[in-house]
Amino acid sequence: MTRQPDPPCEESALLHPLVDGELDAADILRCEAHIARCPACTGELEQLHALRAALAGGGVAWRAPDDLRARIVASLAQEEARTAPAKPAPRHGWLSRLREAVQGWAMVPSGLALAASLALAVVITRPVEGDDIAKQLVAGHVRSLLASHLTDVQTSDQHTVKPWFLGKIDFAPPVVDLAEQSFPLVGGRLDYIDNRVVAALIYKRHNHVINLFLWPSGSHVPKPGAIEGYNILGWQQAGLTFWAVSDLNAVELKEFQDDFAERSPR
């Protein structure tokens, strides 16, 4: 009598996203624990790794040009933003923001807490949800974090990042070393904003990522604001438009702007 094949393991559906790096930490642990005691999934996982290695071999895989990759990713993000339901942003008066800031600085000496709170009240502005460029900037920031594509060139050396852009864009972005100001450079990449390929410089403050998008100045005047919980700070300098996007608080993001603007060409 012919032996019937074993039914597929229910957990095998997680193997592909595991190999592609699409699972969160909890699902990774659950999947790895299951594989350790399931010979069928162990064998299938080995086959997936072998297939992935074969596809990555010479003569099989070709890397798309950076500008093409940027346009495709930007188009997908714009389509997702177009079809997603609008999320109204909470609106708080300046007094509520000031109260929250004071509470957050409760452990800081009173004089410093008051100064920081007043600065926060000045820096935070209205939401910029109606601004299409602001939406694109936030989409680019979030996309870089979710798609594991934070950098195309990953280094803290400004003299490596700056020449990497040569020939890829039609302008020379200033790259500033802000490590002494506690904003270390992480690297750079290309992105696609407002129907053009732009430069993105990546900085960090502790665990917060700052995407600094820049391109030649146009008619759009940058305005600071916030959207979907991300602070946006824009300015123009030396014929270029700069946009800093981060979940970093508004006071420290303004500090980043001041440090960068002071040390880059005017």
Question: Mind listing the pLDDT tens digit for each residue in 237-250?
Answer: 999 999 999 999 99
| Backbone φ, ψ for residue 233 (5° rounding) | -135, 120
Confidence of residue 128 (pLDDT cuts 50, 70, 90): very low
pTM as predicted: 0.54
Q: What is the pLDDT of residue 75?
A: 76
Q: What order of strands is seen across the sheet that includes strand 196-205? A: 153-154, 185-193, 196-205, 208-216, 240-246, 230-237, 225-227
Mean pLDDT of 48-76: 70
Percent of the chain with pLDDT over 90: 35
Whether the predicted pLDDT of 187 surpasses 90: yes
Enumerate domains of the chain plus CATH numbers.
10-55 (no CATH), 81-91+127-263 (3.30.200.100)
pLDDT for position 5? 47
pLDDT-based confidence at 123, cuts 50/70/90?
very low
SS (H, E, C) 197-209: EEEEEEEEECCEE
More confident residue, 194 or 121: 194
Say which DSSP state 182 is in.
T
Mean local confidence (pLDDT), 18-26: 72
- Which of 20-24, 89-93, 98-102, 177-181 shows the highest mean pLDDT? 177-181
Q: What tokens appear for 148 in the block?
A: 């594991």
Range in 83-87, 179-183, 199-203 the model is least confident about: 83-87
197 pLDDT higher than 70: yes
